[in-house]
Amino acid sequence: MNLTKQTIDHIDLRNKRVIIRVDFNVPLDDAGQITDDSRIRAALPTINHAVDEGASVILCSHLGRPDGKPDPKLSLAPVAKRLQRLLDKPVVFAHDCLGDEVKTLVGQMKSGDVLLLENLRFHAEEEQNDETFASQLASLGDVYVNEAFGTAHRSHASTVGITKFMKMSAAGYLMKREVEALEGVVENPVRPFVAILGGAKVSGKIGVIENLGKRVDKVIIGGGMAFTFIKAMGHGIGRSLVEEDMLEFAKGIQEHALSRGVKFYLPVDCVVAASLEPSAETKIVTIQEIPEGWYGMDIGPASVKLFSEAVENAKTILWNGPMGVFERDAFSRGTLSMAHAVANAYAKTVVGGGDTALAVHRAGESDSMAFISTGGGAALQLLEGKHMPGLAALPNRP
C-alpha cells in the first residue's frame, strides 16, 4: 500500500517555518517523569529531516486530557527536555501555543532551530476545531506537516482546521509508515493471516471484527471481550465482564466466520479471581467451570498453548488488545506469553497501539515486531476501514 497523500518529501523546506503536529502524548509518572518515550522517538526522522533541510521547526502536540484549561501536571516541558537529549540540540520551549510570547519566539528562529509549543489542549478551541484558533496556529508557519497518527481520527484544530489556512500541507514519515503498514496488512496480507483481538469490550471492536472477519484465515479472541463470546455459547462466566447487548452479535460473528472456513479460537481455560481486590484468591479453571461469583482475569496456560500453536504457521499477524488484565502481575502471563509467541512466529507482525504496544514493550519483544502502531484509537479506526479526518484533510500527491 502506498500513501496517496502528499508527504514531506514533496515539499521544499529550505528557509521555511514548518509547523509539525506531532503526537507527544507520552505516559508520565506521578513525579512528572516520562515512562516511555517511544512516541517522541517515532517523530525524530521527520524532525531531523526538516532540520537538515534548513527549516525552522515549530512542534505542537497535546498531552492527556486537560479539558481546555492549563494543568501544570500535563505540561509538555518534560518532553522538551527529553527531545533536546534525543536530538542532541537545543529545543526552545514556549509556555503557550499562541500569543505574543510565541510570536516573538517564532520571529527569533533561525534555520535549523526547534521550538516546542505548550499543550494544545490547554485551549478548549483545539478539540472544538475552532477556525480562529486554527488560523492563529497556521499564522506561525509556512508549511504544515501532520506526523500525529495517534490523533488522525479526530477533527481538531491542529489536525484538520489548520490545513485550510496553510498554502502547503503534507504527511510526515511516521504518518506514512502507519497508514501503509496498517492498510497494507489488511488489504494485501501474505497468508495465512491471523488476527488476535483482545481488550475489554466487543463493542469497541465491532468494526474491526467485521472488517477483518472477511479477510483473515484465523481469528483469536482473548481479553474481557472473550467472555461475551463464551456466554453467547451458553456457558456460565461467573461475574466476568460481559456485554449483554452484544451476545447475538458475538454469536453471529462466530457462525459467520465458521461458515466461511475461518478458524475461530476462544480461550479454553482462564485465570479467575474471587474478587477484584489485589489480594484476592486466584485459580486456573476451564471455561466450563468458572465458579459463580468469580471474575475471569486472564487466559490460562492451555489457552496460551492453543493460541501459540495457532500463530506458529502464520505469515501475517495483526494483534490488537491484551489477553487479560496484564497491568497486574497475577494476570499478565497470558498477554506476555502471546507477545513471545507472536515474536517467535516467522511472520510479518503488526501490533495495534495503546495497551498492546505497552504489553509488547513490557515483554521485551518490541524489536521483534515488524511494526508497532503509535495510535490506539486511530489504529482501530483505520483497521475498520473508516474515514480518518486528519489524513483526509491533507492534499493528495501531485
Per DSSP, the residues of 221-272 read: E-STTHHHHHHHTT---TT----GGGHHHHHHHHHHHHHTT-EEE--SEEEE
**Residue of 158, 157, 138, 139 lying closest to 148 (CA atoms):** 158
Cα radius of gyration rounded to whole Å, the chain: 23
Helix (H, G, I), strand (E, B) or coil at 344: helix
Pairing of strands 263-265, 218-221: parallel
Residue showing cell 520551549: 93
In sequence order, what are the residues at sequence separation of 6 or more whose Cβ sits closer than 8 angstroms to the Cβ of residue 178? Answer: 149, 373, 374, 375, 378, 379, 382
**Residue of 263, 325, 264, 327 lying closest to 299 (CA atoms):** 325
In this predicted structure, what is the pLDDT of residue 184? 87
Q: What span, in angstroms and rounded, lies between the C-alpha atoms of 139 and 162?
A: 9
Q: pLDDT by residue for the chain (398 residues), tens digit each?
A: 578 999 999 999 999 999 999 999 998 888 889 988 989 999 999 999 999 999 999 999 999 999 999 999 999 999 999 999 999 999 999 999 999 999 999 999 999 999 999 999 999 999 999 999 999 999 999 999 999 999 999 999 999 999 999 999 999 999 999 999 988 888 889 999 999 999 988 888 888 888 888 889 999 999 999 999 999 999 999 999 999 999 999 999 999 888 989 999 999 999 999 999 989 999 999 999 999 999 999 999 999 999 999 999 999 999 999 999 999 999 999 999 999 999 999 999 999 878 899 899 999 999 999 999 988 888 888 888 888 999 999 999 98
In this predicted structure, what is the pLDDT of residue 380? 84
> At residue 217, what is the residue type?
D
Q: What ranges do the domains of the chain cover?
A: 8-176, 189-383
Task: Judge if 8-176 and 189-383 fold alike in CATH terms.
Answer: yes
**Superfamily (CATH) of domain 8-176:** Phosphoglycerate kinase, N-terminal domain (3.40.50.1260)
In this predicted structure, what is the pLDDT of residue 1? 54
pLDDT (tens digit per residue) in 221-279: 999 999 999 999 999 999 999 999 999 999 999 998 889 899 999 999 999 999 999 89
Q: Catalytic residue positions?
A: 39, 201, 354, 377
- Domain 189-383 in CATH 3.40.50.1260? The answer is yes
Alpha helices in the chain (DSSP H): 38-52, 77-87, 100-107, 124-127, 131-138, 173-187, 206-213, 226-232, 247-259, 301-312, 333-344, 355-362, 376-383, 389-392
Three cell numbers, residue 165: 489556512
In this predicted structure, what is the pLDDT of residue 219? 95
In this predicted structure, what is the pLDDT of residue 317? 96
In this predicted structure, what is the pLDDT of residue 80? 98
In this predicted structure, what is the pLDDT of residue 211? 84
**Residue of 69, 71, 89 lying closest to 81 (CA atoms):** 89
